[in-house]
Structure 1
Amino acid sequence: MNTASWGSAGRFGLARYVMAAALARTADGGAVVAIVLLVTTQGGSGSLAGFLAACITAPHLLGPFVARRIDLADDGRKVIAFACVLYSFALAAAVLSYGHTPAILTGLLLSISGCCGPLLTGGISSRLPTIVGSDQHSQRRAQGWDVATYGIGGTIGPSVVAAVSSWASPGLAAFCLAVAAFCAAWLVMRLPYSAPEHGGDVQNVPSAWSTIALMVKDGPLRRTLYMTMLVAFSMAALPITAVHMTTLIGSPAASAAAMTAAYGIGNLTGSIGVMLRPLRGSPDHLMSVLALCVIAGLFAVMVSPTLLIAIATFWLAGIVNAFFFAATLAARTEYAPAKGRGQVFLWVAAMKITAGSAGTAAAGAMTGWDVRIPLIVGIGLIGCAVALSFVERSMERF
């Protein structure tokens, strides 16, 4: 879609995109919480809850191997919509099967949902560049909306599950998520159609392994990948840190929820900031600069002396993380090869989710020594990534 065609049709397309993405990511963001609550409220063990939660999260790594279907398809919307429907039915079937069939069958159904998960996140994001105007300003403003849908999904999903579980049951909460994913499929098919980039020559569409090889060799894409992963790993420590910081600053344990909520609100605030004032300049350079801002946010959290200051620093950390995420979306859009854009989006999304899960597990282990250690490690890792990015760019100029 060129700039001249960007008008009411483009705005309606973006509105449908935001609704579809928010619903899909709400389903993906709340599913793990729903499954854990389903198991624990019915007397299941913690190990079983962990196993079933892993069944829906671990298969995200397989998403990039499915992503090639988006780049091969004559209509990528159909691939994403099918994934939303399959996610919906598999999740509902898993809930119905729990307690009535062997746990391994429930795990298998959840694994099917998990394989679809990346298509509900990075897969939908790959549609955005074809919906809005082709000029950089329109693209980056739209990326602010995309960041907001991730924030909504990560915040609203678990909140809906908690509310419906307390009012009715975790099973009904999971069914609500399944309905959200199904509705997202309908909205995805209402997005504007865009012709496939392969132009009928599917032989030129790179394979999954060729795509990851390209990302490793291409400087900007390589930096997008490792900086996204390391920031996700480091920021995943914040919810764990919030729980343990209450003791450090002498506040009630329940105040951890206020800090975590402040971080989520900060993400939404940052996404609004990107909408109002889209990022300018090279995404490659922006990622390095904004990663330094993330370091500052983590350091501010680490040295917070009181509850109010801690809440404020969590909010600021959320803001800078949203800006950094917007820069990574811009990098994926501008540096990915047209014939492999879907795969690049899903590779980065899958690696980000994996790094975030690893960061949460690592933070849980490290806080046993000191609450500050996960933050210090995160600051060190991001600092190394920023330094490496500057060195790489300097070497590429010579």
Structure 2
Amino acid sequence: MPETHTATTAGSRSALARYVFAATLVRSADGGAVVAIVLLAHVSGQPGWIAGLLGASITAPHLLGPFIARRLDTARDGRKVIAASAVAHGTLLGVAGLLLPVTWAVVPSLLLIVSGLFGPMLTGGVSSRLPSIAGPSQKSQRRAQSWDVASYGLSGTLGPAAVAWLAAAASPLVATLALAAAAVVGAGAVLALPRQSPLDDPGAVPSPGRTLVTIRRSGPLRRTLVLTVVVAFSVAALPIYAVAVAPSLGGAALAGSLVASYGIGTLAGSGLLMVRPLHGDADKLTGVLAVVVPAALLLVIATTNFTAALVAFGAAGIANSLFFAATLAARSEYAPPEARGQIFIWVGALKIAAGSAGTAVAGALIGGTAWLPVAIVAALSTAAAAVCLVERSRDRT
């Protein structure tokens, strides 16, 4: 028995390592695509507004991702669906990059729109595979989710960083093609993951609309979705705030350091979770940690010097990392098997949309009072968390 247990544990660790490798590759391709295309548009002589539209062509279609996600839950082998999505994403991105300097911008824009449709498969879709890899115990599930958080943090850092380095060392086109290649290689890595048992009755998989109804009727899933969207909307104000406040802290260039500190905090948070995974009810954890995030945002706007601001941005990254892990746990534990992939993708897609909206709103409100949008979103997150915690308490009585 001990030898069997040891072999099983070693197998789970190997599968988890393969998962992190695959997830980081495909998510880096997705996360760095906007930076690569915008840089390529600039060096190709396109005006700024076209560069912005090209970037939006990649991110905006994420919201439509759930409408193709049902295939993930009905497939006999979901790995093939995700791998095909990664290949399609990478191929379309690469072709769009090759065509951008030599054709009308509308042509690569259409290719990028289709490429962006597959983005949610590389984020929430990949995460939906984790429960079958991590092992049956809550502790193993939570530790695996901390690695998933780390994958998001690494890809969110490595993708844009690799693009910046390759664009400077070679060209933005080379950077774009490297991301495309990463997506294709990542597809192969996805196929190397353990196969998840298919559903006995694929016909039981709900439509995208019915999946949303399932989320609405489930208190834990509904609260997870609401808080994920609100917190994503809130933390999206931080890069705008960093740019606005950096000159008063010593120079405009310090904005990059503040944003980097937030990213480092995200990775540090996932590291803490690897050492000490979250324990307890995922629904309650999501509500409690949704209060911690706005508290960290208030700490950010309370700082008056650069060193303190660095620490505060790092603390905000840690807080958001812990919150994100709680939402992954809630999605894993409360989603019905026949809709797990769709629920992961719905929440992920709406999170991305909320982040884009948060950035736009913060930019519109920043004006002459830099702290105002951060204070507003912190109040919004606190209120949403309070409502969800009260609702949860009522559901349990």
For the superposition of Structure 1 and Structure 2, which TM-score range results when normalised by the shorter chain?
Answer: over 0.9
What residue number does 1:231 align with?
A: 231
Please state how far the C-alpha of 1:315 moved relative to its aligned partner. Answer: 0.5
Query: Retained in 1: the 8 A contact 2:44–2:100?
Result: no
What residue number does 1:53 align with?
A: 55
Tell me which of 23, 34, 37 is aligned to 1:35.
37
Could you tell me the percent identity over the aligned residues? 52
Cα distance in 2, alignment partners of residues 6 and 340 from structure 1: 28
Task: Show CA shifts across 1:174-194 (max 9, x none).
Answer: 111011111110000000112
Q: State how 1:1-398 maps to structure 2 within 5 Å.
A: 6-196=8-198, 198-199=199-200, 201-249=201-249, 251-398=250-397
Please state how far the C-alpha of 1:369 moved relative to its aligned partner. Answer: 3.7
Please state how far the C-alpha of 1:241 moved relative to its aligned partner. Answer: 0.7
Cα distance in 1, alignment partners of residues 139 and 188 from structure 2: 29
Cα distance in 1, alignment partners of residues 372 and 172 from structure 2: 34
Cα distance in 2, alignment partners of residues 37 and 182 from structure 1: 22
Cα distance in 2, alignment partners of residues 163 and 378 from structure 1: 34
Cα distance in 1, alignment partners of residues 382 and 38 from structure 2: 35
Cα distance in 2, alignment partners of residues 44 and 101 from structure 1: 11
Please state how far the C-alpha of 1:168 moved relative to its aligned partner. Answer: 1.1
Cα distance in 2, alignment partners of residues 7 and 94 from structure 1: 43
Cα distance in 2, alignment partners of residues 28 and 125 from structure 1: 14
Please state how far the C-alpha of 1:396 moved relative to its aligned partner. Answer: 1.3
Task: Show CA shifts across 1:75-98 (max 9, x none).
Answer: 000000000000111000101111
Query: Retained in 2: the 8 A contact 1:6–1:133?
Result: no
Task: Show CA shifts across 1:12-32 (max 9, x none).
Answer: 111110000001111111000
Query: Retained in 1: the 8 A contact 2:303–2:312?
Result: yes
Please state how far the C-alpha of 1:161 moved relative to its aligned partner. Answer: 0.7
Question: Unaligned 5+ residue runs, structure 2?
Answer: none
**TM-score, normalization by structure 1:** 0.97
Task: Show CA shifts across 1:56-90 (max 9, x none).
Answer: 11110111111111100000000000000001110
Cα distance in 1, alignment partners of residues 15 and 274 from structure 2: 16
**TM-score, normalization by structure 2:** 0.97
Cα distance in 1, alignment partners of residues 141 and 348 from structure 2: 19
Please state how far the C-alpha of 1:218 moved relative to its aligned partner. Answer: 1.0
Query: Retained in 2: the 8 A contact 1:64–1:346?
Result: yes
Task: Show CA shifts across 1:347-376 (max 9, x none).
Answer: 000000000011111111111241111211
Task: Show CA shifts across 1:321-362 (max 9, x none).
Answer: 100000000000001001110000000000000000111111
The one-letter code matched in structure 1 to 2:309 is: A
Query: Retained in 1: the 8 A contact 2:74–2:203?
Result: no
Moved more, 153-162 or 387-396: 387-396
Query: Retained in 2: the 8 A contact 1:68–1:207?
Result: yes
Cα distance in 2, alignment partners of residues 34 and 186 from structure 1: 23
The one-letter code matched in structure 1 to 2:151 is: T
